[in-house]
């Protein structure tokens, strides 16, 4: 479903991603963990060209883009195959929860408003917010706003949903409601890539976990192996530090 080959990204002289290679099968959940500054969010943003990579190829659902010879329409096609859930929700403040979910359906997919609203209500119901359809973001808690943004991503029916630290802006007591929703989606064969620092969550929902440090993929494996029996010294020390914090 997703294949990334020799992906590289630099900001001026700073090499943030160094030769990244990985694959995700259809319906799989991949979590990306690692210390701050290891390149996790940049990697995610490169997959839909929110950041432009310097080299490599990206394949999503049959469409392969060669970063160095990419055309504008390739990027548009690639973006249509993914939906992103951001740390800080990125909702339109002047639109209701339902309008936030239907906006892209109406504008980019040219869907009739009534049809878009029917779909929007289905996904708001799925994230437990049908009763908040006509509320504006300012009246919703952070957890509810993030659930609206998940409903918006789902409504686009993308090939893959990219989650960039979806709980990092939330108060601790709101984290679990958002993770619960993502967990529920993960049971429905939705392909997902999740950058997260919620390790228990990563262990529970992922089919595969990538540990990144200093712009490299240090180790990749099944959660039980990566958390329970890491092979690389760098992974071991990271997991050990986490365990000490708990």
41/118 Cα distance (integer angstroms): 33
Q: Name the pLDDT band for 195 (thresholds 50, 70, 90).
A: very high
58/46 Cα distance (integer angstroms): 9
Torsion angles phi and psi, residue 207, rounded to 5: -85, -30
> What average pLDDT does the chain have?
94
* Residue-wise pLDDT tens digits, 76-134: 999 999 999 999 999 999 999 999 999 999 998 999 999 999 999 999 999 999 999 99
Residue 93 pLDDT: 96
149/75 Cα distance (integer angstroms): 22
As a whole number, mean pLDDT of residues 187-199 equals 92
Strands (E), the chain: 2-11, 14-24, 29-33, 55-60, 63-66, 82-85, 160-164, 191-195, 208-213, 216-221
Which residue carries 């209701």 as its tokens?
Answer: 96
Torsion sign over Cα 176, 28, 218, 50: negative
* Residue-wise pLDDT tens digits, 130-185: 999 999 999 999 999 999 999 999 999 999 999 999 999 898 889 999 999 999 99
Q: Name the pLDDT band for 243 (thresholds 50, 70, 90).
A: confident
Q: Name the pLDDT band for 187 (thresholds 50, 70, 90).
A: confident
Residue 242 bridge partners (DSSP): none
Residue 246 pLDDT: 66
132/241 Cα distance (integer angstroms): 40
- Would you say residue 245 has pLDDT above 80? no
Bridge-based pairing of strands 160-164 and 82-85 is parallel
Report which of 217, 246, 213, 243 is spatially closest to residue 228, judged by C-alpha positions: 243
Residue 221 bridge partners (DSSP): 209
Tokens at 99, concatenated: 């309008």
List Cβ<8 Å contacts ≥24 apart for 170-176: 170/142, 170/143, 170/146, 171/142, 174/141, 174/142, 174/143, 175/143
- Would you say residue 59 has pLDDT above 90? yes
Tokens at 56, concatenated: 């490599």
Q: Name the pLDDT band for 242 (thresholds 50, 70, 90).
A: confident
As a whole number, mean pLDDT of residues 36-48 equals 94
Q: Cα 69 to the chain's mean position, in Å?
A: 25
């Amino acid at each position: 479903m997703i294949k990334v080959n020799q992906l590289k990204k630099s900001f001026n002289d700073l090499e943030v991603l160094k030769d990244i290679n990985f694959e995700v099968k259809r319906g799989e959940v991949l979590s990306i963990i690692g210390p701050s500054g290891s390149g996790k969010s940049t990697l995610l943003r490169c997959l839909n060209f929110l950041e432009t990579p310097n080299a490599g190829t990206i394949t999503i659902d049959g469409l392969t883009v060669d970063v160095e010879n990419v055309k504008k329409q390739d990027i548009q096609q690639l973006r249509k195959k993914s939906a992103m859930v951001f740390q800080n929700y990125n909702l339109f403040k002047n639109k209701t929860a339902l309008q936030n979910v239907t906006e892209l359906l109406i504008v980019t997919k040219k869907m009739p408003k009534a049809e878009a609203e029917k779909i929007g209500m289905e996904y708001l119901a799925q994230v437990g917010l049908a009763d908040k359809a006509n509320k504006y973001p300012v009246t919703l808690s952070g957890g509810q706003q993030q659930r609206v943004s998940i409903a918006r991503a789902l409504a686009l029916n993308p090939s893959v949903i990219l989650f960039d630290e979806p709980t990092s802006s939330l108060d601790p007591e709101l984290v679990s409601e958002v993770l619960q929703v993502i967990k529920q989606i993960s049971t429905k064969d939705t392909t997902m890539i999740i950058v997260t620092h919620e390790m228990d969550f990563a262990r529970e929902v992922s089919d595969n976990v990538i540990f990144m440090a200093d712009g490299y993929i240090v180790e990749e494996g099944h959660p039980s192996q990566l958390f329970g029996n890491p092979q690389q010294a760098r992974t071991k020390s990271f997991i050990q530090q986490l365990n000490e914090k708990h």
